[in-house]
Each structure stands twice: as C-alpha cells, then as structure tokens.
Amino acid sequence: MLRQKGATFGAAFLLECLLTSALKRQLMVKQQLMVKQLVPLATISDERLFPKGTVFRILNSLHALNPARPAHYDYMLVPHPEEEETMMSVNVTLGTIKAGYIISYMKATHTLNFITAKEVKRSLGIEGVFYCQY
C-alpha cells in the first residue's frame, strides 16, 4: 500500500511538473507574439467586460530613469483559486523579478468569469495602462 501511494504521489508530481512546464511554454509563446494593438484603458467604456486570461500592459515609469529596468509589465486576469467571486492581476512578464506577483484583486461580475472595465480601472488605474489585443 505504501509503495502504491508513493507511485501515485510520484505520478501526480510528474504530471504537475509537466503541466507547469507546458503552461510556462504557452506563456512564453504568447509573450513572444507581437501585440496587435495597445488600447488605452482610459478610452474603454466602463461597461466593457474582460474575460479571464485578458492581458493588460502597465508602462514602467522608472524605465526612463534606469534603462536596465523593463519598459513595461504585463498582467493577466486569473481566477482566484478559493474565492470564485474574485480575480487576480498576475504579472506574466517572464524574465523579470516581478514575474508571478499579484498586484491586485478584483470583484468578478455576476457571471464570475468576467471583470468590468470600471473594476479594472479602479484596481490598476488608467495612467499608462493598456488593454493588449493579440
């Protein structure tokens, strides 16, 4: 029985590693794609709905002072694993120290898979924030 549990744990761990690796590859590919258009968040209607997986770009104001810093950071809307009425803004800019950081939590709409532009503006601000269209 112990051996079987160990084998099950090993298989689960391997599966988790493979999934994590696959997700990282998908993120890297998505990030390498050219963004078709950056739409200023300030120009978007407050009623507009954004689904999970939507990416927003925030310009880094410190880049002008220190060119070694990234010019921008990309944040993806991700559902909170324990609170279904909440989404998180997670940094998906690979290769930066902030990758994986959560900068804000947002209240989802009644459909739970969407966030209003008004809520995004409240959470991320509007200055230097863009909606990424791929």
Kindly report, residue by residue over 18-43, the tens digit of the pLDDT.
Answer: 556 556 555 555 555 567 899 999 99
The residue range of the domain holding 24 is 1-33
Greater pLDDT, 72 or 95:
72
Q: Are residues 81 and 107 in the same domain?
A: yes
Q: Are residues 118 and 68 in the same domain?
A: yes
Q: Are residues 29 and 46 in the same domain?
A: no
pTM: 0.71
Most confident range, picked from 22-26, 48-52, 80-84, 97-101: 48-52
Q: Are residues 128 and 101 in the same domain?
A: yes
Most confident range, picked from 32-41, 57-66, 87-96: 87-96
Rounded to an integer, what distance in angstroms lies between the CA atom of residue 56 and that of residue 89? 9
pLDDT value, residue 95: 80
Q: Are residues 74 and 104 in the same domain?
A: yes
State how many domains the chain has. Answer: 2
Q: In what order do the strands lie in the sheet with 86-91?
A: 37-40, 129-133, 55-59, 72-79, 86-91, 102-107
